[in-house]
Chain A
Amino acid sequence: EAGVTQSPTHLIKTRGQQATLRCSPISGHTSVYWYQQALGLGLQFLLWYDEGEERNRGNFPPRFSGRQFPNYSSELNVNALELEDSALYLCASSLSSREYGYTFGSGTRLTVV
């Protein structure tokens, strides 16, 4: 069974540009979660999508947005990139009931220069 896959693995962008990160959940999982892991700041919750709808978002500005497609894959968009957006972005998926926990992908390393 394929795990949670994220692309690209690495992404280098210039300040002010836009970045798009992609996530494919485990087959059968309908919920997708996005987390940011910046150096020294731990894992911060960004967004939760379930059945195509945004269910909750963390304390991040509106330039962090995303969506979930009918096949439950998801993308995270970060507009007007700032240097402090440089981080490892992790995607996780789960069943709606969440009783089997969350499975994480390997992440996308975003570097803003």
Chain B
Amino acid sequence: KQEVTQIPAALSVPEGENLVLNCSFTDSAIYNLQWFRQDPGKGLTSLLLIQSSQREQTSGRLNASLDKSSGRSTLYIAASQPGDSATYLCAVLTNAGGTSYGKLTFGQGTILTVHP
């Protein structure tokens, strides 16, 4: 059974800092990994998608890496801004049949607060 863990559970930083969010997963047989952002009471916004064959993806100030063999991904946010404050979720799509077929497995998220 795939399990996804995110560390830290919460993070508070001053504006302008570079920061790293961590995600680990137990089953390395993944199809892809996706990072999402969720604002309070809202839906999920996709930030980055990394296929299992890729090592990293970049979008603006965001960079996500994937080490499939060790079951780890990191989301790097450069020059953080107060508008980055949200919950960040990591999700993996397991490349397997059975109960994991087709479903994204989510971590519990990292609550990020960037203060001015």
Contact = CB atoms under 8 A, between A and B. Distances in A.
Q: Do A and B bind each other?
A: yes
Interface of A: 6, 31, 33, 42-43, 45, 48, 50, 55-56, 58, 88, 90, 92, 98-107, 109
Residue of B43, B99, B102, B109 contacting most chain A CB atoms (<10 Å): B43
A81 B86 CA distance: 31
A48 B104 CA distance: 10
A18 to B, nearest CB: 24
Interface of B: 31-32, 34, 36, 41-46, 49, 51, 89, 91, 93, 99, 101-109
B102 A104 contact: no
B103 A58 contact: yes
B93 A104 contact: no
Contacts of A88: 41
Given A42-B108, A101-B34, A104-B36, A31 B46 contact: no
A12 to B, nearest CB: 15
Contacts of B104: 33, 43, 45, 92, 102
Given A42-B109, A56-B102, A102 B41 contact: no
Given A101-B32, A101-B49, A90 B103 contact: no
A55 to B, nearest CB: 5
Contacts of A101: 32, 34, 46, 49
Contacts of A102: 34, 46, 91, 104
A104 B104 CA distance: 12
Contacts of A43: 89, 91, 104, 106
